[in-house]
Amino acid sequence: MPLPDFGLGSWPARRARISPDRTALVEHDRSLTYAALAARVERLAGALTRLGVRPGDRVAYLGVNAISVFETLFATARCGAIFVPLNYRLSGTEIRYMLDDSGASVLVHSPDTEALVADPLPESVRHVLRTDGAFETEIAEAGPSPETEVRLEDPCLLLYTSGTTGRPKAAVLTHGNLTWNTVNQLAHLDVLGTDKALCIAPLFHCVGLGQITLPTLFKGGSVEPVAKFDPGTILARIGEAGITSFSAVPTMLEMMCRHESWDRTDLSSLTCVLYGGSPVAERVARAWLDRGVQLLQGYGMTEASPGVSMATHEGTPAHPVAAGVPHFFTDVAALGPDLTPQPLGGTPAELLVRGPNVFGGYWNRQAESAASFVDGGWFRTGDVVRVDEDGWAHVVDRVKDMIISGGENVYPAEIEAVAARLDEVDACAVVGVPDERWGEVGAAFVVPRPGARLDAAAFRAHLEQHLARYKIPKHVQFTEALPRNATGKIRRVELRALAAETFSNGPA
């Protein structure tokens, strides 16, 4: 007897049978109940089947957060095909690379991305559906989708990594990966069927999809996708709609608590705000906590769908910027010197993770996939982590970002966290640069706050109050902004190149 289908493709229909009249998705003045969503997903799945989409085929989506993203995701999964959300902030060349790399046969896109698909597309793309045209026509004219068996181990999603270190590669996430990530979230959080969540992090990113959004839909709450992040608009919407939760990246949280309407915004409806993608400055975390908001850091990565660990409501006040404790169905360990797992402890070490939410490999990258795992299925995260005596984890830095100066390990994230405590500093990034004497030294790129007066001597003096001398960057350069990708992560590849060019002839 076959096992029941618990895959992502079944969620809208199953939820519709449990509570069909609840609101599932909201977008401006439009809303869909679970019953209406299930019906549209069935017809869209039928349309995709009529266009030749078969199990294992890829269907790409290019556009801002919208109801149509969820419809395409669920319909693709209903067909047993693989959904490929694309970053609309990329160039046309980068988009075409991902379409070609994934071999997508159908591209669904919103009107505002027309320019990105104007040039010739890869030969694999046989059908293009614009959401204000052919997309709706196909839904209106199609019949229901034929029954397709979808198993937990079947691939559901290709999520392209941010590409901060080179060309992006796609993590293959299965229905089981996404389902178990949702279970982990629900074991950690009290998500209710009455919740009203905003989806403000982009849906081509693991934070936007895996944190809050899918767990809320799983429980029968409503999700409101936000097309464009604007801090004032988001703050106003929280009070207007009685928003209970959302997930975000740290730059969004900082922009909101700096907004002129922050102090007068009613945040009383919020029961939980999750953030991830990168660490947040303690002053930002405190700003939210001081308003009575349950702010929780979730640590994870695309390859873990994305959750590995999360803070708890009870422990956050004492650990405002810690990454919390492991999710319920996730195992963690430290990479030992012989490439075998060892217990995590207070000494920083590369984190290993294993569990049903962890992916099996990258799309068409067998060698890279094999190199990412050690000792029977432990995934090498590339993140350096230390664990306090109470079991709370702190992400120290990326292994590849660590600087070895005079034989000492220097972690840029530690320096950046101390720099963020200085009121005059808006942002800071530290990278390594070759040095004849020490082998490698730090180069700090500092963005001063508007109107602040800060020089290199004062900046270094602040660091010296909190850090060992060997950790103090040799070079300091002030800049108007740091290069970032679509999710707010600093593009360190560009900074390393700039540092090598700028500081090759001596100190700043």
Cα 380 from chain centroid (whole Å)? 18
pLDDT of residue 9: 52
437-457: burial string, b at 16+ Cβ within 10 Å, e else: ebebbbbbbbbbeeeeebebe
Beta pairing partners, 223: 25, 197
Give per-residue pLDDT as tens, 365-406: 999 999 999 997 999 998 989 999 889 998 888 888 888 887
The whole-angstrom distance between residue 425's C-alpha and the CA centroid of its chain comes to: 25
Average pLDDT of the chain is 90
Higher-confidence residue of 507 and 153: namely 153
* Domains, the chain: 8-387 (3.40.50.12780), 402-502 (3.30.300.30)
**Residue partners of 249: CB distance under 8 A and separation at least 6:** 201, 207, 275, 276, 277, 278, 487, 488
Q: Distances in Å between the alpha carbon of 123 and those of 101, 106, 127, 209, 426?
A: 11, 11, 10, 29, 46
Query: In angstroms, what CA-CA distances link 211 with 216, 300, 308?
Result: 9, 10, 11
**Four-residue CA torsion sign, 307, 311, 313, 314:** positive
Q: Are 31 and 175 in contact (CB under 8 A)?
A: no
Q: What is the mean pLDDT of residues 151-174?
A: 85
Check residue 406 and give its pLDDT: 79
- Residue 10 pLDDT: 54
Rg over CA atoms, the chain:
23
- Provide the pLDDT confidence category of residue 262 given band limits of 50, 70 and 90: very high
| CB 171 within 8 Å of CB 159 | yes
Residue 272 or 437, more confident: 272
Give percent of the chain with pLDDT exceeding 70.
94
CA-based nearest residue to 275, from 259, 256, 251, 257: 251
Provide the pairing of β-strand 127-130 with 155-160.
Answer: unpaired
- How sure is the predictor about 170, in pLDDT bands with cuts at 50, 70 and 90? very high
- The 8-class DSSP code of residue 20 comes to T
Can you tell me the distance from the alpha carbon of 233 to that of 230, in angstroms, rounded to the nearest whole number?
5
pLDDT band for position 317 (cuts 50, 70, 90): confident
**Would you say residue 220 has pLDDT above 90?**
yes
Distances (CA, A) of 424 to 32, 251, 272, 282, 495: 47, 17, 30, 15, 21
Q: Is the pLDDT of residue 419 over 60?
A: yes
46 band by pLDDT with thresholds 50, 70 and 90: very high
Are the beta carbons of 136 and 127 closer than 8 angstroms? no
**Predicted pLDDT of residue 1:** 35
Residue 16's pLDDT is 65
Residues in contact with 445: Cβ distance below 8 Å, sequence separation at least 6, in sequence order: 428, 429, 430, 431, 477, 478, 479, 482, 495, 498, 499
Burial 165-194 (b: 16+ CB within 10 A, else e): eeebbbbbbbbbbbbbbbbbbeebbebeee
Whether 146 and 270 have beta carbons less than 8 Å apart is answered as no
Number of other residues whose CB lies within 10 A of the CB of residue 218 = 19
Hey, how many other C-beta atoms are within 10 angstroms of the C-beta on 397? 23
pLDDT at 13 over 90: no
How would residue 14 be classed by pLDDT, with cut points 50, 70 and 90? low
Q: What is the pLDDT of residue 5?
A: 46
Q: Which of 46-55, 132-141, 248-257 has the lowest mean pLDDT?
A: 248-257
pLDDT number for residue 4: 41
Mean pLDDT of 295-318: 92
Q: What is the mean pLDDT of residues 306-321?
A: 90
Cβ burial, residue 305 (10 Å; 0-12/13-18/19+): buried
CA distance 10 to 178: 13
The C-alpha atoms of residue 216 and residue 191 are separated, in whole angstroms, by 6
* pLDDT band at 485; cut points 50, 70, 90: confident
Per-residue pLDDT for 470 more than 90? no
Burial category of 118 from C-beta neighbours within 10 Å (exposed 0-12, middle 13-18, buried 19 and up): exposed
Looking up tokens 């395409």 gives 72
Check residue 508 and give its pLDDT.
Answer: 45
Least confident of 149-163, 253-267, 445-459: 149-163
∠ CA 41-45-46, nearest 5°, is: 120
The pLDDT of residue 3: 38
CA distance 156 to 81: 7
* pLDDT recorded at residue 225: 97
HSE of 291 in the Cβ direction (CA atoms, 13 Å)?
Answer: 22
